[in-house]
Chains A and B, each alone.
Chain A
Amino acid sequence: MAGRCEDIPGVEWVKGTGEFIRVVPELCDGCARCVRVCLGDCYEISAKKALVRSLERCMKCAACWYVCPRDAIVFSWPRGGTGFRTDWG
């Protein structure tokens, strides 16, 4: 069931999301825009490509999806009832 979101107060994380964000390496040019806008620190650059490090701090703001200039981010929602939840939004 819901566990605390690591380092983020007031937000819980429900497991079982499935892979809801994915980078297509062939399209990614390693520009790091996704890294710069992700407040959850979910991305890293490795060998000039973006990698999803962990999605357990992802609040589904879609900033990464919006800024990616090469449409290299495949973006969808976590499985119903999973992912972040909060009482304080």
Chain B
Amino acid sequence: MDGYDVIVVGAGFGSPVAARKCAEAGLRTLMLERSARVGEKVISGLTIPFYGFLFGPDFIRDGNLPIERPVDGIINYIIKDIDSGDMEIDDSLRVPKPLSPVIAFGYNAYCRPFCQWEAEKALEAGAELRTSTTVTDLLREGGRVTGVLTDAGEEIGARLVIDAEGSQGLLAVKAGVREKYPPEVISLADVYDYRMDKEDVDRILGYSLRFCWGWDEQKIAPPLGHGNGLMVWPYRESVHFCQDQCLRMDGGEVPNLRGCFQEYHGNITSKLPWWRDDEAPRAEMRAHMWEGFEIFVGLDARLREMPSCTDGMILIGDAAGLEGTELCDGVPAAWFSAEIAAEVAIEALRAGDVSRDFLRRYEDRIRDHPIIQWSISATNRYNLRFAQEHHDLAELRKYVHDGWGLGSFAHVSTPLLKMILRTLQKDPNIITSWIRMFFRYHYNWLHERYDYSEGKEPPARGDRGRSKLSQILFRKTLEAMDLSARMLSPFIRITARALEPLSVLANPTMKVLLPVVEMLFKGFARLEPATEPLSRKLVEFIRNADPEIFDQPRRKG
């Protein structure tokens, strides 16, 4: 049999990250993807939150990816009565100006170009890719996975298989690694893509995501009773719309989703004031898609504890049930788990031991990952059902605020801080990479620049002399930060290590300080008339910058 060291099933968001890392380590690596073009069967939102980029693979953080639009926060609409237009807004979770939109909460993207971009990066590192190839089964010897069988009947051997097949996990279930998930934890997402002129998207939606939450009887957003909602994403010249609902609630009836989704979509587009008045006249429906995703796996102890490896095989991303329960974000966890799987694969192949006992260290590292664990265990979206059951507006407000408003600080601060401190221990110098990343991403968004594309020519600079001076200053500041981080690196490492255990206090502290933080953010919002011009200046600075100042390689600390 033609032998590979590693076969990665799929070429979606997670697979290329694992494939690239394995190939870089000198392992003969093959990705097998069922679609003819990478990414054309991946259906998603999609906002990839900032933590995916900050703590994910270097090549993504330091790369030029196909970004559709930066996102600076979330506007939540709590719909009390759609006919009278009675609704409340919670837009507390927003990066304040002048940092916004350059320092972003996340970045929107289409799956096809993004997954393609990632796959190209894996190919550059020496991994191989075969498209139009469906893996139909796993090869086994004495219980150990030894390769895959394709739909062409070909057997391809591998010392280790990384299963990045996405949410349904057909191979994982077939191989008996994990069970098929019950309908309670699966949400069906009904997704529309609308084309709109960029100027209209800029003016109407800007950089904010819009989420809607409404009482079940309003039939405007998918029933809270099913723990889900309606999300709208602004892209470059389009708007993405997703309503999703669990396939079943707590052992109850399977709803008539076909009927419900049609009805809600009709009601939203004709009754929700900002959609009806602003979007509808300008938006032209371009695509309608749907996909299931395993939203609440992490909240069920039995499902969460199901294995994600067996002899000769590791599951990553959605195949391992790592979808986020609140933001429905699975891409960061797919990236994190792909990197961990590749690390473990490299260790296992070096040790010549791919047994489940050895690979268990993958599961341990996933359990020890602060962001993955937070994202699969946050409960606010799940709890919406109780707000509906009690029909309690105060309860609904609280879940929305704690999930997608500033209240989230009281449950995300500990994992974020822990992750920052851990990353600093590994590379104290990384802070400037983070800063460069936000600036470079924004430059790329403005000029539609990404690898494997020509991009737009930067416009001629007005005040060339001054902008050049500010660029030199900026470059020097980054260099000074690099240098100080390098000089202080032993100290940063020790401090980060010493502080890490204290990060558990971040959530409770934030809970106490939340009223103050809320006041501060309200203050920032009031200052917006003054900070807006600064924000525009920052954007112009980036627009006219020489991209080299963001691309400059930095020495590791």
**A-to-B contact residues, CB < 8 Å:** 8-11, 14, 33, 35-41, 59-63, 65-67, 75-81, 83-89
Contact = CB atoms under 8 A, between A and B. Distances in A.
A66 B181 contact: yes
A85 to B, nearest CB: 4
Given A79-B134, A81-B35, A86 B287 contact: yes
Contacts of A37: 188, 247, 254-255, 257-258
B170 interface: yes
A56 B111 CA distance: 22
B188 A89 contact: no
B291 A76 contact: no
A89 B289 contact: yes
B132 to A, nearest CB: 3
Given A10-B193, A81-B131, A39 B188 contact: yes
Nearest to A87: B112
Nearest to A85: B40
Main secondary structure of the interface of B (DSSP, over half): loop
A28 B50 CA distance: 46
B239 to A, nearest CB: 11
B291 A59 contact: yes
B43 A38 contact: no
What 8 A-B pairs are tightest by C-beta distance, nearest first? A10-B287, A81-B132, A89-B43, A88-B287, A80-B132, A88-B193, A81-B36, A85-B40
Contact of B248 (A67, A76, A79): A67
Main secondary structure of the interface of A (DSSP, over half): loop
Given A36-B254, A63-B247, A67-B254, A85 B37 contact: yes
A66 B112 contact: no
Contact of A63 (B36, B186, B289): B186
B247 A88 contact: no
**Most B CB atoms within 10 A — which of A8, A86, A87?**
A86
Nearest to B286: A10
Interface of B: 34-37, 39-44, 110-112, 131-134, 136, 150-152, 167-168, 170, 180-183, 186, 188, 190-191, 193, 238, 247-248, 254-259, 261, 285-292
Contacts of A66: 180-183, 186, 247, 292
B288 A8 contact: yes
A60 B524 CA distance: 46
A78 B287 CA distance: 21
Given A38-B258, A61-B290, A89-B191, 6 more contacts: A37-B188, A37-B258, A41-B258, A63-B257, A77-B34, A89-B111
Contacts of A80: 34-36, 131-134, 150-152
A45 B254 CA distance: 16
Contact of A39 (B34, B112, B248, B290): B290
Given A63-B247, A66-B292, A89-B191, A11 B257 contact: no
A30 B258 CA distance: 18
B27 to A, nearest CB: 24
A62 B292 contact: yes
24 contacts: A9-B285, A10-B286, A35-B258, A37-B188, A39-B290, A41-B258, A59-B290, A61-B290, A62-B167, A62-B168, A63-B188, A66-B181, A66-B247, A67-B248, A75-B168, A78-B134, A80-B132, A81-B132, A86-B112, A86-B289, A88-B110, A88-B193, A88-B287, A89-B41
Contacts of B238: 88
Given A10-B289, A59-B290, A36 B256 contact: yes
B254 A33 contact: yes
A67 B458 CA distance: 52
A77 B289 contact: no
Contact of B258 (A10, A36, A59, A78): A36
Nearest to A33: B254
Contacts of A11: 287-289
B292 A61 contact: yes
Nearest to B284: A9
A66 B37 CA distance: 27
A9 B286 contact: yes
B170 A61 contact: no
A86 B188 CA distance: 18
Given A10-B289, A14-B36, A36-B258, A89 B110 contact: yes
Contact of A88 (B132, B180, B181, B286): B286
Nearest to B168: A62
A88 B292 contact: no
Contacts of B188: 37, 39, 61, 63
Contact of A10 (B35, B133, B288, B290): B288
A59 B151 CA distance: 19
**Most B CB atoms within 10 A — which of A38, A41, A80, A81?**
A80
Given A9-B288, A37-B258, A89-B110, A75 B170 contact: yes
Contact of A9 (B41, B261, B287): B287
B41 A84 contact: yes
A10 to B, nearest CB: 2
Contacts of B259: 36
Contacts of A63: 186, 188, 247, 257, 292
